[in-house]
Chain A
Amino acid sequence: MDKKTLRNDLILIGSLLLAAIIAFIIILVTRTKKNLVATVRVQNQVVLTIDLNKENDKHYYVDGTNGQVHIHVKDGAVAVIESNCPHQDCVHMGYIKESGRPIICAYNSVSITIEGSSSHDIEVG
């Protein structure tokens, strides 16, 4: 193998390696930078989806199985701010903005989950 061929081979390998790294980074970034979407369900039915990147300071009212649940979206986060449930656990959870932990109003069978980025596969607690 002469010097010229070797040099060309090295250039080719270098270019391909660079292209592979760039492609890998692009795939990685697009995979992790998903839009954060809050999905609201009553029992098992999806009744509302909210794009948390687009909507801000908006109020939504969802009819649960025992009454209405008042949902608020602010600064990329979502909360139940009013519910007729006896224990108010859903209201006490406050605003959530990461996937992993849903807001659940068991009394009204309403759940709000955020689908998007999370550093864990699941969070217990």
Chain B
Amino acid sequence: MKRLSLLTIFLILPLASCSKNEEPIFEKKVFCFDTMMEIKLYEGTEEDVNKIEEIFLRLDKLSDNYQARDITNVYTLNQTNNDVQVSSDLYDLLTVSYLASNKDAKYFNPMCGSLSKLWKESLKNQQIPAESLITEEVNKIKNSSILLKNDNVIQRLGEAEIDLGAIAKGYALDEVKKYLDSKNLNKYLINGGYSSILLGEKNSDDGYYSVGIKDLDNYSLNLKKCFVSTSGVSEQGVKIGETTYSHIVNPYTGSAINNFDAVVVISDCGYLGDALSTSLMMSSIDEIKQVEASCGVKVIAIKDSAIVYKSE
């Protein structure tokens, strides 16, 4: 009898050590926000995956500033200075953008659309925009704003265009989290194009995900139940001479030169994390520390493939 018990234990031991299935039961890739969003659910139903996809596709349409879609979106707002009735989610997205830029994310500005376009068009041809054009765009930003009126009515004032690209994916992840919480689902990984990530719990014993950071070899973070927002120059940055110009532009100076190569923000809010990671690319280390203290986020700043600042 004793032998039989021992036999059973030793046969079960190796099987038990390998039995926890870490693969998601539902996985879907969705092409939107000019990138690939990835949904991995370790619990839930196919309906949940479809609902998350729906959230992504809707917010992608709403935040699009390059073309008109079948609903009133940012592009529509950029065509007029008149009152525009928008959906409640676009109104909310604009509200949080405005709040973030006026509070802790001071170098993030939703009115940077035309300045960003100016830089993108020039960098495409490996050129820096003329100083006069940059000054013109900065002045447009200074003299423009968004009026958030009652009943979901928006009025864009001034000539600067709205661009919510820096914050829309984070906001979409906030909406996804609300949905997952409402369904009491905890085990998931929602990847917003590798720059905005929503982590639930992994389907493992401790629930932690191993999160690597691009260009940092042999470095990983163990994280769960948080948002990870990253801004960086490695993919969209353009090197002219010895200087790397970014797609992230400073709304006060018009410059596209950032202080860091990448900034990672770990937070409990997707839109705020995204706005902060953008803003902190142009901040000093002292400013990063101030933001950490006021927002309760963790920050990693990277320069030349090395960590130059990391939260305690």
Q: A13-B6, A16-B10, A44-B29 are in contact. Are A124 and B194 (CB under 8 A)?
A: yes
User: Is B211 touching A122 in the complex (CB atoms < 8 A)?
Assistant: yes
User: Contact: B13 with A20, CB < 8 Å?
Assistant: yes
B23-61 interface bits toward A, Cβ cutoff 8 Å, 1 = contact, 0 = none: 000001111001110000000000000000000000000
Residues of A within 8 A of B79 (CB): none
Which residues of B, 233-283, contact A by the 8 Å Cβ criterion?
Answer: 234-236, 262, 264
Contacts of A124 in B (CB 8 A): 194-195, 197, 211-214, 228, 230, 264
Secondary structure type dominating chain A contacts: mixed
Q: How far is the CA of A123 from the CA of B195 in the complex (A)?
A: 9
In the complex, the answer to whether A119 meets B29 with C-beta atoms within 8 Å is: no
CB distance from B52 to the nearest CB of A (A): 13
Which residues of chain B have C-beta atoms less than 8 A from A92's C-beta?
Answer: 235
Q: Is the CB of A20 within 8 A of B194?
A: no
Q: Out of A9, A16, A123, which one reaches B194, CB within 8 Å?
A: A123
B11 at the interface (CB under 8 A from A): yes
Chain A interfacial residues counted at CB < 8 A: 36
Interface size on B, residues (CB 8 A): 42
Give A102 to B210 CA distance when docked, in angstroms: 18
A7 within 8 A of B: no
- Shortest C-beta distance, A80 to chain B (Å), equals 13
Say yes or no for A87: interface residue by CB 8 A criterion.
Answer: yes
**Which of B29, B31, B213 is A125 in contact with, Cβ under 8 Å?**
B213
B209 within 8 A of A: yes
Q: What CA separation (Å) do A119 and B18 show in the bound complex?
A: 18
Shortest CB-to-CB span from B299 to chain A, Å, is 13
Beyond A121-B211, A125-B194, A125-B264, 15 additional pairs, beta carbon < 8 A? A13-B6, A17-B10, A19-B10, A20-B13, A24-B17, A44-B29, A44-B30, A89-B236, A93-B235, A101-B194, A101-B214, A124-B195, A124-B228, A125-B213, A125-B234
List 17 interface pairs A-B (beta carbons < 8 Å), by A numbering: A9-B3, A12-B3, A12-B7, A13-B6, A20-B14, A41-B31, A93-B235, A104-B34, A120-B220, A121-B189, A121-B202, A122-B209, A123-B194, A123-B212, A123-B213, A124-B230, A125-B194
Q: Which 9 A-B pairs have the closest CB atoms?
A: A125-B214, A120-B212, A16-B10, A106-B34, A123-B212, A20-B14, A121-B209, A23-B14, A124-B230
Residue positions of A touching B, CB distance < 8 A: 9, 12-13, 16-17, 19-21, 23-24, 27-28, 31, 41, 43-44, 86-87, 89, 92-93, 100-102, 104, 106, 109, 111, 113, 119-125
Binding site for A on B (CB under 8 A): 2-3, 6-7, 10-11, 13-14, 17-18, 28-31, 34-36, 120, 124, 189, 191, 193-195, 197, 202, 209-215, 220, 228, 230, 232, 234-236, 262, 264
